[in-house]
Amino acid sequence: MTWHSVTVRVAGPRPEIAELVADTLWSFGAVAVEERSEGSATVVSTGYPDRTTADTAAQAVNRLHVGSAGPGSADGEAPGGSGVAVEVQVTAVTDDGLDSWRAHATVALAPPFAVIPPWIDAGPPSDHIALLVDPGTSFGSGSHPTTRLVLSALAGLVRPGDRVLDVGCGSGVLAVAAAKLGAEAVGVDIDPASGPAINANAGLNDVSDRVRFDPRGIGALADDCRRGAPRYAVVAANLLAPVIRDLTDNLVAVTDPAGHLVVSGLLADRWEQATGGLSSSGLDVIAVDESEGWVAVTLSPPDRTGATGTIHPDR
C-alpha cells in the first residue's frame, strides 16, 4: 500500500510551533503524529492514505504563517524576525520505505531504562534495565524526550502488582516498561498497528503474561471504571496537548483515587494549558520533569501529594 507522508521540520527558538503543526496534522484525520528531535530542530510527521489529504494538510501547515519552506518557497524564515524556519515535504512511500530510519537507530537512555532496538548489537549500561522495543509500523521507538521522561517517572511510581494503563500506547514502550517493574499493564490506542506491536514487544521482553492490548479504547475503559470496575494505580498518557484536553474526563475516570497520572507530549512553556482541566477535576500537580523543551507532568489526588509543582529540569 502506498501512503503519503507529510514531514515538517521546525528549526528555531520557538518549540511551541511544533505543537501547532501537530495540531494541524491531527485535524486532517491523522491516525498518529510523531514528533522527534533532530539536533536543535523538531520533526513532526504523519501519513495519509491519499495524496489529496496529504497535500491539503501540508498547505494548511504552510498557511500557519510561522515560516515555511515548502515547494516553491525560497525563504523559510518566519515573518517578524522570529528566527523560526518550517520546512514541509510531502512524499509518497510504501510500507517498506517507512523502515529506513532503522539503519540510524541507537540506544536511548531513560534511567533506569535503556531502550534498545533489538536489531542492533548493543546492550544496556550495567546500571540500566534493558527495554527492547521494535515499533513495527506503529509509533514509539522510545527515543523522543517525552517518552524518556515518562519512563523515568514510571520508575518512581510503579510498584509490583500495580495495575498500569498506557493511553495512546503506540508500540507499548510504557506498558512494557511498567510490566518489567512488576506491574500488570494494559495498552490502548486508536492505531490498529499498536495491538500487534505491543504484543510483540511484550514477548521480546518476556512480559507477555503481564501486558495486554485492549482494542476497545480509553472511552470504554473509563465507562467500566465509572460503573465500578477497578481503576488504575498509574496511568500514563504520552500524547499531545489537544488530545490530553479532549481526554481529561476519561483520564480522571480511570485513575485510582490513591494513584498517579503522568501526562506528556507537552511543551515546557505551555503545559499548564493542557493540564488545567485535570487540576479542575481535583488532581494536583506533584512534579514537572523537563528535557529538551518538553515536560512530563505527574498528578495525583490531594490526599497523596507532597509538595506541589516541583520542577526537575533535564532529568
CB neighbours (10 Å) of residue 86?
28
Sheet order of strands, 41-48 included? 34-38, 41-48, 2-11, 85-94
- How many CA atoms does the CB half-sphere of 143 hold within 13 Å? 20
Using the predicted structure, report yes or no on whether residue 29 has a pLDDT greater than 90.
no
Distance CA 70, CA 222 (A): 42
Using the predicted structure, report yes or no on whether residue 306 has a pLDDT greater than 50.
no
Residues 4-17 have pLDDT tens digits of 889 999 887 666 78
Distance CA 17, CA 39 (A): 16
Q: What is the 3-state secondary structure (H, E, C) of the chain?
A: CEEEEEEEEEECCCCHHHHHHHHHHHCCCCCCCEEEEECCEEEEEEEECCHHHHHHHHHHHHCCCCCCCCCCCCCCECHHHCCCEEEEEEEEEEHHHHHHHHHHCCCEEECCEEEECCCCCCCCCCCCEEEECCCCCCCCCCCCHHHHHHHHHHHHHCCCCCEEEEECCCCCHHHHHHHHCCCEEEEECCCCCHHHHHHHHHHHCCCHHHEEECCCCHHHHHHHHHCCCCCEEEEEEECCHHHHHHCHHHHHHHEEEEEEEEEEEEECCCHHHHHHHHHHCCCEEEEEEEECCEEEEEEECHHHCCCCCCEEECC
Residue 300 belongs to what H/E stretch?
strand 294-300
Lowest mean pLDDT, pick from 18-22, 171-175, 203-207, 307-311: 307-311
Per the rule left: phi > 0, alpha: psi between -120 and 50, beta: everything else, 270 is alpha
The pLDDT-based confidence of 305 (bands split at 50, 70, 90) is very low
Residues 36-78 have pLDDT tens digits of 888 778 888 888 877 888 888 898 888 875 544 443 333 344 4
DSSP-assigned letter for residue 55 = H
3-state secondary structure of 3: strand
Asked: is 105-313 a CATH 3.20.20.140 domain? The reply is no
Cell of 194: 499498536
Pick the residue with more confidence: 82 or 206?
206
CATH assignment of 2-100, given 3.10.20.30, 3.40.50.460, 1.10.4160.10, 3.30.70.120?
A: 3.30.70.120
Q: Which residues of the chain does CATH 3.30.70.120 include? A: 2-100
Residues 194-224 have pLDDT tens digits of 899 899 999 999 999 999 999 999 999 999 9
Q: How far apart are the two ends of the chain, measured CA to CA in Å?
A: 41
What CA dihedral angle connects 124, 125, 128 and 133, to 10 degrees? Answer: -20
Candidate ranges 78-92, 174-188, 280-294; pick with highest mean pLDDT: 174-188
Q: State residue 175's pLDDT score.
A: 97
Residues 141-162 have pLDDT tens digits of 667 888 899 999 999 999 999 9
What percent of the chain is modeled with pLDDT above 90? Answer: 42
Strands 41-48 and 2-11: antiparallel
Q: State residue 48's pLDDT score.
A: 82
Residues 246-258 have pLDDT tens digits of 999 999 999 999 9
Using the predicted structure, report yes or no on whether residue 225 has a pLDDT greater than 80.
yes
Average pLDDT over residues 170-195: 93
Q: Which residues of the chain does CATH 3.40.50.150 include? A: 105-313
Q: State residue 297's pLDDT score.
A: 96
- pTM given for the model: 0.70
